[in-house]
Structure 1
Amino acid sequence: MNIRNIAIIAHVDHGKTTLVDRILHTAKIFRDNQETGELLMDSNDLERERGITIFSKNAAVTYNGTKINVIDTPGHSDFGGEVERVLKMADGVILLVDAFEGPMPQTRFVLQKALQLNLKPIVVINKVDKPNCRPDEVHDAVFELFFNLDATEEQLNFPTFYGSGKQGWFNDTLEPREDILPLMDGILKYVPEPEVKEGALQMQITSLDYSSFLGRIAVGKVTRGSIRDNQPIALVQADGSIKRSRVKELYVFEGMGKRKVQEVLAGDLCAVVGLEDFNIGDTICDVETPEALPVIHVDEPTMSMTFSINTSPFFGKDGKFVTSRHLRDRLMKETEKNLALRVEDTDSADSFMVYGRGILHLGVLVETMRREGYELTVGQPQVLVKEIDGQKCEPYENLVVDVPEEFSGKVIDLVTQRKGEMLIMESKGDMQHLEFEIPSRGLIGLRSQMLTNTAGEAIMAHNFIDYKPWKGPIPGRNNGVLISKNQAPTTGYSIDKLQDRGSFFVDPGEDVYVGQIIAEHIKPGDLIVNATEGKKLTNMRASGSDAATNIAPKIQMSLEECMEYIQEDECIEVTPKSIRLRKVLLNEEDRKRAAKQAGNG
């Protein structure tokens, strides 16, 4: 049977998952009357809520007698670890580019990985139905990007398709039509069949699946030979050790699910059940002649955060898993499938150092754990500093901001305060397109300030470039915070009196504890306040006037915003029901003592 393995790569929000929907519908894997909904591949709750792909997934369709394995990948640079390893399963890539935005930083990152693996590219310029779109200019920009990334002659000669995933058509010209058949024909024509080498079985495990019924499932592409049900195999691990095992069940991908088979030949993707203790990157080989494939290399993490058990007075109220053993087991389990994540023990048995690709990467992990019933405290994200040739170096990122012209001055001002350097400034329609090189530290907390200063109009994206010399101190948050003086529910009466001191993160009637951060101060410096005092009722008549207080609604911050907001002496208490900001040391005397020691030290 003919096979094509294709990965879909693009910047976040350029339409990958919608394109996969169209491919699934075109191949008629659903009944005509079946309710399917949108964004079929984003099956995880978090992905649906945020509208982004976090985990790469596989689907398979049959078109004109050819089986097409489609791999949907995440577009966010924080999940680059997912993209790097699944590209190993593909023989070609569809590079999707927005007809208005053109190639973005993330497009460059994933395309570079694909070209290094020598994959055959097909360029699809999506969203040509948008007003102000500029498909011809974008096509030239994509060609320039290929050229800058040292693409070969053959890769530079890429076919281009235009269309709109939303309207459901793609064509090799700008002429709209009813379907995406030209693109499907293009996949069969331009993507090469898998290269099959002669010899005994070789298959690299590139991702993990889990079923409560079957346990851990190894997923990968058979690069040589064939794999059969009940076959004894050798598992070669990253350190070179060899384990013997046996295949219990074999599945291939079909539609959105899997189908059980007896044998899978080289070139196809498959899922193997029954292996013990395997990791991503291990090679499944023939028992007689075990030969390993090169180990998957994933870029290093650039950020770290301390995860520790919840030590607040409200400990154990919401969560099911609250001990350090629970926390450790869960983090270790995560490192098995999340390749870009590393976990290390610290001096304290209750806390762990977790290294990841960025705030979103770590934030998604915390959010997932919270939904599973874990309680934990997370500290301020720190960038990883390296010493290169005796010089202190830190990670730098390429930051791209598209913003209406009248706000461009404010954006430049904000970024330069944080040690960013402007590289490019050009007009794109009514928008100004700005590109900067900025230390990763400068990005922490930048998004919320940027949105405030541009009335929510700025679109920013960034991705890691390299380690460069340390840029010196970067100013943090300007304002201090208001800290609760006692433990009790807050009252509307007290909050009303304190409103001119700051903006609150809590509503009246919410339980707070000593050392909890309940508001942002309007000035620098922290202030300890009593927000739990009730009104003294002297006579019956005055008791009703309390309802007349006008209290501004509390500021709602997402988990990532909280992570960007906190300073070094603060942390976030995360439980299944709430996210609270607090000082690391809840007692004021302890904080003063620590500040004194730091001053003396």
Structure 2
Amino acid sequence: MGSLNIGIVAHVDAGKTSLTERLLHHTGVIDQVGSVDAGSTQTDSMEMERRRGITIRSAVVSFTIDGLQVNLIDTPGHPDFIAEVERALRVLDGAVLVVSCVEGVQAQTRILMRTLTRLRIPVLIFANKIDRGGARYHELLDTIGEKLTPHRLAMSTVTDPGTTTARSLPLPLSEGKRAASVTDLLADGSDAFLESYLTDPTHLTEHDYRTELARQIRQARVVPVYFGSAVTGQGVEELLDAIKEFLPPSDGNASARLRASVFKIDWAPSGEKVAYARVYSGQLTAREPVDTYRRGRTDEVIEGSGKVTSVRVFAHGTTTHETVAGPGDIAKVYGLAHVQVGDQLGSPEGLPSGGYFAPPSLETVVGAAQPDQNAQFYQHLLRLAEEDPLINVRRNETDRTISVALYGEVQREVIKGLMLDRHGIEMVFEETTTVYVEKVEGTGHGLEVIWQNEFPATVGLRIEPGPAGTGVQYRIEVEPGGLPAAFHKAIEETVRHTLQQGLYGWEVVDCVVTLTDTAYFSPVTSAGDFRKLTPLVLMTALRTAGTTVHEPVNQFEVEVPDDTVHAVISRLAAARAIVDQCDTHGPVSRLHGTIPASSVHDIERQLPGLSHGEGVFVSSLSGHRRTTGNPPTRPRTDGNPLHRKEYLSHVLKRV
């Protein structure tokens, strides 16, 4: 029957991992349901996950439903690990969004649903914990309709919600008043279905309704809601039926060119790198060479190659077997020593150019508590960054300090714990700071002429502002044939690398760099000469143009009780937030606006106390705004091409 790749996504503690266990039990993969609290679940395999009771890294398990092979990816729920969720979303055919009937729709739930909607990934909602005290049915459905999607459809009802005897009962689609309400929902996406209903309502059968519902779910137009309990198993059988009936199975041509996406990096007990890849087309075969493609930091495509030594496809639970991986398969791939998360194997077609979620906006300097361990600590940290590239490990070659990018405090504690568990190294963190960017103010020029500088090369560059959100655009005004292609490549790559640190040490974004002059002397000149000279020229141009420092800003929405609005607005103002809109709906008010990313954590921490514990805060990176006062700076790690003598001493190894 083919295969299907689905993800389980949710706010932390909604019951995602427990639901995964119950699905595995229902499909005969495991004999006994594991417990998150006891650390006995299939997908939380890391020691830290078992100890903390949270999912940190995505995990893959496999089961079958009446012959349909389902690969299920259990993802983290905590916002600090949103990058791990993003990597999983890229390889899904559908998703199950878990919502707690007790806690309801939470901030992370809304962020996830918005992303799934934007990506047009078909979604089933599983309303979990119907047996827990405080569980709600009608109120939760209303909240889902208001905050997640207006096109939601209840597929079950609940008797005795909030008690241990709670039961989930399926709802038909074609009976009585229910048929009319379902028709209203489906008619928005199908004039033909509406016409059939108006012509003769009695002619439409339950099968007709389910067929049309399946079509619209697969188009991500309608979201069915199933109520149940992962702990007792209520509603899980109906959810399994829905996964088979409503989510679209994988498709792809096995005879086409290979295209597979790497979404996770792990390590075998022997220390060998293991890449988790979802195959879209073609076949992934052991003992065969394979091309790799990835996006660089400035969106350029970087090509590579390697030889696959082993391909193991998920078949039953967490077990795999050696075979050829075809379209729809998720495989563990061995032998690609240089592969990274986000790489595409076989073909660059469809290679993503940007993230679904904002990159980390915090940074901190790290080190080993024992200074004599710093060398091995850095190597271990680089290896950890292969599992999570967005932590962006940077080392200052002058003072040897190391920094990492972070989403929040929980991620910091996890990195610290992983370093201790895996390598026995105690980490220390300095104060967390915000990651800023620089933007070009005017137009600047730089020129270094051959034989008038330390390198046998001429480079001239012009830099000027570019449209917002366009990154670094590189252009050539010289005759392309006047310089070997390798030299052109060296200049462009160095330009993009150099702009990762502007006048104040922050990455320069949204600018246009134009190559205006070139010369070389054969056979003396090498690509290395252009790589060493270009930073001096570019920084001269950048200094002439000038830059301003901008801080990351989040767009936010706050929902609070009406009687707490004044206190919340005052606290937002103190956090340098700007409230653009305030809407009141009965006893609830919603505030919209922008807030510095550096203030988000404090607001999230203080909001419960300001709002009787009822406030909801949702935010996402919306851009940057210029800082006021003295621009913040970051120590340079590039030899400092702003200071010629210091830079030349660095690149020429002078004393």
Q: How would you bin the TM-score normalised by the shorter chain? A: 0.5 to 0.7
State whether residues 143 and 156 of structure 1, in contact with CA within 8 Å, keep that contact through their aligned partners in structure 2.
Answer: no
State whether residues 324 and 349 of structure 1, in contact with CA within 8 Å, keep that contact through their aligned partners in structure 2.
Answer: no
Q: 1:189 aligns with which of 245, 251, 257?
A: 245
The corresponding residue for 1:23 is 23
TM-score, length-scaled by structure 2: 0.60
The corresponding residue for 2:455 is none
Q: Residues 358 and 19 (structure 1 numbering): CA distance in 2 closer, same or farther, change over 3 Å?
A: same
The one-letter code matched in structure 2 to 1:234 is D
- CA distance, structure 2, for counterparts of residue 134 and residue 213 of structure 1: 49
The corresponding residue for 1:254 is 315
Q: Give the aligned CA root-mean-square deviation in angstroms.
A: 3.8
Q: Does 1:226 align with 2:279?
A: no
The one-letter code matched in structure 2 to 1:3 is S
Q: Residues 48 and 416 (structure 1 numbering): CA distance in 2 closer, same or farther, change over 3 Å?
A: farther
State whether residues 385 and 395 of structure 1, in contact with CA within 8 Å, keep that contact through their aligned partners in structure 2.
Answer: no
- CA distance, structure 2, for counterparts of residue 393 and residue 77 of structure 1: 21
- CA distance, structure 2, for counterparts of residue 165 and residue 215 of structure 1: 36
Greater helix share, 1 or 2?
A: 2
Q: Does 1:442 align with 2:599?
A: yes
SS in 2 for 1:326: helix
State whether residues 106 and 463 of structure 1, in contact with CA within 8 Å, keep that contact through their aligned partners in structure 2.
Answer: no
**Structure 1 spans left out of the alignment, 5+ residues:** 171-179, 474-567, 569-601
The corresponding residue for 2:481 is none
Q: 2:362 aligns with which of 304, 309, 314?
A: 304
Q: Does 1:466 align with 2:527?
A: no
Deviation at 1:193, TM superposition (A): 0.9
Q: Does 1:209 align with 2:231?
A: no
- CA distance, structure 2, for counterparts of residue 427 and residue 133 of structure 1: 23
Q: Does 1:159 align with 2:224?
A: yes
SS in 1 for 2:90: helix
State whether residues 33 and 41 of structure 2, in contact with CA within 8 Å, keep that contact through their aligned partners in structure 1.
Answer: no
Deviation at 1:61, TM superposition (A): 0.8
Deviation at 1:363, TM superposition (A): 3.2
- CA distance, structure 2, for counterparts of residue 33 and residue 329 of structure 1: 38
Greater mean alpha carbon deviation, residues 186-195 or residues 442-451: 442-451
- CA distance, structure 2, for counterparts of residue 369 and residue 32 of structure 1: 32
The corresponding residue for 1:396 is 554
Q: 2:119 aligns with which of 117, 120, 134?
A: 117
Deviation at 1:189, TM superposition (A): 0.3
State whether residues 300 and 340 of structure 1, in contact with CA within 8 Å, keep that contact through their aligned partners in structure 2.
Answer: no
Q: Residues 420 and 45 (structure 1 numbering): CA distance in 2 closer, same or farther, change over 3 Å?
A: farther
The corresponding residue for 2:395 is 345
State the Cα deviation string for residues 96-122 of structure 1 (Å, max 9, x = none).
Answer: 122244332212222233233332111
The corresponding residue for 1:12 is 12
The corresponding residue for 1:143 is 145
- CA distance, structure 1, for counterparts of residue 274 and residue 424 of structure 2: 25
The one-letter code matched in structure 2 to 1:98 is S
- CA distance, structure 1, for counterparts of residue 230 and residue 585 of structure 2: 27
**Structure 2 spans left out of the alignment, 5+ residues:** 152-187, 190-215, 440-467, 469-547, 634-655
State whether residues 84 and 113 of structure 1, in contact with CA within 8 Å, keep that contact through their aligned partners in structure 2.
Answer: no
Deviation at 1:355, TM superposition (A): 1.7
- CA distance, structure 2, for counterparts of residue 395 and residue 322 of structure 1: 39
The one-letter code matched in structure 2 to 1:167 is T
The one-letter code matched in structure 2 to 1:253 is F
How many equivalent pairs are there? 449
- CA distance, structure 2, for counterparts of residue 207 and residue 261 of structure 1: 19
Q: How does 1:399-410 map to 2 (within 5 A)?
A: none
Q: Residues 365 and 436 (structure 1 numbering): CA distance in 2 closer, same or farther, change over 3 Å?
A: farther
- CA distance, structure 1, for counterparts of residue 551 and residue 271 of structure 2: 46
SS in 1 for 2:115: helix
Q: Does 1:51 align with 2:49?
A: no
- CA distance, structure 2, for counterparts of residue 34 and residue 331 of structure 1: 32
TM-score, length-scaled by structure 1: 0.65
Deviation at 1:414, TM superposition (A): 4.3
Q: 1:324 aligns with which of 374, 378, 390?
A: 374
Q: Residues 336 and 22 (structure 1 numbering): CA distance in 2 closer, same or farther, change over 3 Å?
A: same
State whether residues 275 and 332 of structure 2, in contact with CA within 8 Å, keep that contact through their aligned partners in structure 1.
Answer: yes
Deviation at 1:329, TM superposition (A): 1.5
State whether residues 144 and 150 of structure 2, in contact with CA within 8 Å, keep that contact through their aligned partners in structure 1.
Answer: no
Deviation at 1:183, TM superposition (A): 0.8
State whether residues 266 and 275 of structure 2, in contact with CA within 8 Å, keep that contact through their aligned partners in structure 1.
Answer: yes
The corresponding residue for 1:554 is none
State whether residues 358 and 621 of structure 2, in contact with CA within 8 Å, keep that contact through their aligned partners in structure 1.
Answer: no
State whether residues 59 and 255 of structure 1, in contact with CA within 8 Å, keep that contact through their aligned partners in structure 2.
Answer: yes
The corresponding residue for 1:2 is 2
State whether residues 597 and 621 of structure 2, in contact with CA within 8 Å, keep that contact through their aligned partners in structure 1.
Answer: no
Deviation at 1:17, TM superposition (A): 0.8
